[in-house]
């Protein structure tokens, strides 16, 4: 099978930074916890667990609430960032705090704080319940408004001054659409789009996949927002499968397919994506000897 590896793909600088920080802080004389998934990829979470770093995560619970489960040791703030209240509470509990927040997320937080101090309300385009959105909105829930769809603009006070920004992993096309809509329907709004460069160029690469590709595989965790956005963009023109690893490839997905394109989310281990690419390259639907999938070496996940 002919395989096109979409470039760029995989790890962004924020994910690399977060994983390296975690690897450097494996437990020695005290327990080490991560407040939520360090990045949205279960393979990475498990690999760190194998090194003794415990992930504290529970659906529906905020970072502040998750802190109640940690009484001593060291806590790592994930790449998604957290509010000042989380840092304050952790230190009040006597925990050592290590900040692995993505620098692009910190930049957005600084923008929000500066604009709040200037008297603006903030409109934040993001995914409800996502940890990055949670961290941003909890800076000042009274003056920061989550925007998930166009109808949310109609709930706003038209007399106020607004700055519109966004979760860094959102679709740049969705953000553009909402920004244009805001400019038409709000009297006083400034636009400060914060889609990170890594997200932007990966989405553009997916948007530009050549027409003769028969099937697209996006490798990543289903909880990863940026991975889901890549799959969504690709699905506008192609047949798409979002998979976590080579194990998820079904033979029927490849029937009558001659050319496949492969990309991956910003939190997907390079090893897993390369394994998918190599498997597809040797695959021949008419030769059952090529159907056997390789074993995943968990020791290589953090490489």
The set of catalytic residues is 132
Strand order in the sheet with 54-56: 54-56, 32-35, 74-77, 96-99
Residue whose token pair is 């959105």: 133
Inter-axis angle of helices 103-117 and 13-23, nearest 10: 110
Instruction: Answer for the pair 265, 220: CB distance below 8 angstroms, yes or no.
Output: yes
DSSP characters for 47-89? HHHHTTPEEE--TT--HHHHGGG--SSEEEEPTT---HHHHHH
Give, as one character, the DSSP assignment of residue 21.
H
State how far the Cα of 7 lies from the Cα of 262, in Å rounded to an integer: 9
DSSP characters for 217-267? EEES-TT-HHHHHHHHHHTTTS-EEEESSGGG--GGGGTT--EEEEEE-TT
Distance of CA 224 to the CA centre of its chain: 5
State how far the Cα of 144 lies from the Cα of 150, in Å rounded to an integer: 16
Phi/psi for 162 (5° steps) reads -125, 150
């Amino acid at each position: 099978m002919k395989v096109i590896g979409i470039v760029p793909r995989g790890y962004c600088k924020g994910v690399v930074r977060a994983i390296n920080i975690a690897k450097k802080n494996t437990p020695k004389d005290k327990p080490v916890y991560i407040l939520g998934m360090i990045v949205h990829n279960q393979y990475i979470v498990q690999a760190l667990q194998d090194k003794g770093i415990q992930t504290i995560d529970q659906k529906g619970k905020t970072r502040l609430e998750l802190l109640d489960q940690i009484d001593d040791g060291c806590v790592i703030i994930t790449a998604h960032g957290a509010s000042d209240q989380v840092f304050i509470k952790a230190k009040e509990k006597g925990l050592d705090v290590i900040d692995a927040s993505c620098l692009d997320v910190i930049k957005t937080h600084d923008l929000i704080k500066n604009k709040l101090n200037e008297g603006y309300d903030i409109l934040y385009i993001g995914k409800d319940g996502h940890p990055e959105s949670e961290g941003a909105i909890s800076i000042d829930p009274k003056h920061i408004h989550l925007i998930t769809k166009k109808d949310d603009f109609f709930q706003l006070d038209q007399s106020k001054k607004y700055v519109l920004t966004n979760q860094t992993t959102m679709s740049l096309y969705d953000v553009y659409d909402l920004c244009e809509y805001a400019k038409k329907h709000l009297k006083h709004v400034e636009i400060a789009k914060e889609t990170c460069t890594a997200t932007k160029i990966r989405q553009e690469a997916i948007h530009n996949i050549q027409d003769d590709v028969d099937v697209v595989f996006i490798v990543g965790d289903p909880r990863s927002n940026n991975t889901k956005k890549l799959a969504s963009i690709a699905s506008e023109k192609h047949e798409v499968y979002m998979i976590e690893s080579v194990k998820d490839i079904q033979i029927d997905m490849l029937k009558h397919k001659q050319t496949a394109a492969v990309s991956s989310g910003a939190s997907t281990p390079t090893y897993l994506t390369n394994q998918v690419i190599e498997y597809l390259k040797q695959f021949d639907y008419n030769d059952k000897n090529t159907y056997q999938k390789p074993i995943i070496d968990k020791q290589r996940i953090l490489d």
